[in-house]
Amino acid sequence: MAEKISDIGEFGLIARIDAVIQREGVGSDQVTVGIGDDTASFTPRAGYEVLVTCDAMVENRHFLSGSISPFDLGRRAMVQNISDIGAMGGRPVYALVSLGLRGEIPVSEIEDLYRGFISELNPFDACIVGGNITGTTGPLFIDITLIGEVEQGRAMRRSGATAGDVILVTGYPGQSCAGLQLLLNASDRTSLQDHPLVKGYNTPSHRAQLGAAIGKTARATAMIDTSDGFLGDLGHICETSRVGAEVMDEKIPISDDLLDVAGELGKDPKEFFLGDSDDYELIITCRPENAQLFRSLAADHGVPITEVGRITPLPGIFLVRADGTRERLRSISWDHFR
């Protein structure tokens, strides 16, 4: 019988987690106190700003229980935090992980969860330095606080877009949402585990390396990740920058996989692009003369990038069709209480 959390208790579980981190994670000379004390302590690097973000995931709210492995769940939870750091042009350095767990969960699943965390942190030489564990009789939850760094004066923001800027987007936003719809409409979810859009939902990619490279150029005017959906996050840029936007209908990037799934679900694929989604792509605004620089950077990182529109001086986001007609779009952003 599999060993359960209730068999070894809180401190036994902490010891097992610490063993996984010490064995499979990386360390940092700047950490002065790590796991095992009241708080963690680190020395910031001179010449760098500290970035801090946190995100929570709740079972059957942010992931479907039984449709994702513990390892992939750990990856997914860490990616959404890494994406936020990357959208600021930074890199992650330290993570704190808090968990709400039921006693009947096998210990091996929590060890695999941490292996997922570590697999996303190791490429940055980032490490887990602490956290918290609590028992729950309700849904499992994961709450990660991620600390990053960026060179002073290089942090990217949402608020710098200006009229005449072009709008670039990486990848194919909407694929994750389509993958979730496939799972929700499936009679047998296990048969979909290898579907590319289901994998995109369960194990999304971040663009943090590209985001850091873009930040170093000091040529982007604004940047944000698409965790709330393309339209919602473009709306965040427009609101904080006090501008509007035009999105060119014929330039919306749609992958072959998304086209196929949209047909299967009887939907327009552009609905997925414009709707809320769990993709972690980047929206970048810049002066038109700098767009080629970012195309080259994206190519160097193996990331597709598309120019989809322009920033306008007046408020509002409009979809512009090939015949010149315009439709005002409502900026739909993911809302936990909607």
pLDDT tens digits, residue range 202-261?
989 999 999 999 999 999 999 999 988 999 999 999 999 999 999 999 999 999 999 999
What letter would DSSP give residue 164?
T
How many domains are contained in the chain? Answer: 2
193-to-13, 140, 163, 203, 254 alpha-carbon distances in Å: 29, 21, 43, 11, 22
In the predicted model, is pLDDT for residue 328 greater than 70?
yes
In the predicted model, is pLDDT for residue 332 greater than 70?
no
Q: Are residues 145 and 173 in the same domain?
A: no
What's the burial of 132, exposed, middle or buried (CB within 10 Å: 0-12/13-18/19+)?
exposed
Q: What angle do CA 209, 214, 215 make, to 5 degrees?
A: 100
Does 161 fall in a domain?
Answer: no
pLDDT at position 333 is 55
Half-sphere CA count of 183, side-chain side, radius 13 A: 24
**Residues spanned by the domain of 229:** 166-329
User: What's the CA dihedral at 202, 203, 208, 210 to 10 degrees?
Assistant: -110
Residue ending a domain, among 103, 124, 151, is 151
In the predicted model, is pLDDT for residue 43 greater than 60?
yes
pLDDT at position 62 is 87
Rg (CA), the chain: 21
In the predicted model, is pLDDT for residue 26 greater than 90?
yes
Whole-number Å distance between alpha carbons of 259 and 318: 23
**Which tokens sit at 295?**
């195309």
> Cβ contacts of residue 23 below 8 Å, gap of 6+?
none
In the predicted model, is pLDDT for residue 12 greater than 90?
yes
Whole-number Å distance between alpha carbons of 275 and 246: 16
Q: Are residues 128 and 235 in the same domain?
A: no
User: What's the CA dihedral at 108, 113, 117, 120 to 10 degrees?
Assistant: 100
pLDDT at position 337 is 53
- CA distance between the termini of the chain: 42
Residue 96 CB coordination number (10 Å): 18
In the predicted model, is pLDDT for residue 28 greater than 70?
yes
Residue 174, domain CATH: 3.90.650.10
Does 303 fall in a domain?
Answer: yes
Angle at which helix 107-121 crosses helix 5-24, to 10 degrees, equals: 20
Q: Are residues 91 and 196 in the same domain?
A: no
Residue ending a domain, among 151, 176, 210, is 151
pLDDT, tens digit (0-9, with 9 covering 90-100), for 65-85: 888 999 999 999 999 999 999
What pTM was computed for the model?
0.93
pLDDT at position 195 is 92
Q: Are residues 200 and 309 in the same domain?
A: yes
- How distant is the alpha carbon of residue 225 from its chain centre? 7
Q: Are residues 268 and 139 in the same domain?
A: no
In the predicted model, is pLDDT for residue 334 greater than 60?
no
pLDDT, tens digit (0-9, with 9 covering 90-100), for 142-191: 999 999 999 999 999 999 999 999 999 999 999 999 999 999 888 788 78
Is there a contact between 306 and 169 (Cβ–Cβ < 8 Å)? yes
Q: Are residues 67 and 180 in the same domain?
A: no
Q: Which residues pair with 131 in a beta bridge?
A: 97
Q: Are residues 137 and 190 in the same domain?
A: no
pLDDT, tens digit (0-9, with 9 covering 90-100), for 265-320: 999 999 999 988 788 999 999 999 999 999 999 999 999 999 999 999 999 999 99
Is there a contact between 78 and 121 (Cβ–Cβ < 8 Å)? yes
Does 159 fall in a domain?
Answer: no
pLDDT band per the 50, 70, 90 thresholds, residue 338: low
Residue ending a domain, among 151, 178, 196, is 151
Residues 291, 296, 298, 299, CA torsion sign: positive
Q: Are residues 147 and 222 in the same domain?
A: no
Half-sphere CA count of 330, side-chain side, radius 13 A: 3
Q: What share of the chain has pLDDT > 90, as a percent?
A: 86
pLDDT, tens digit (0-9, with 9 covering 90-100), for 85-112: 999 999 999 999 999 999 999 999 999 9
> Cβ contacts of residue 250 below 8 Å, gap of 6+?
321, 322
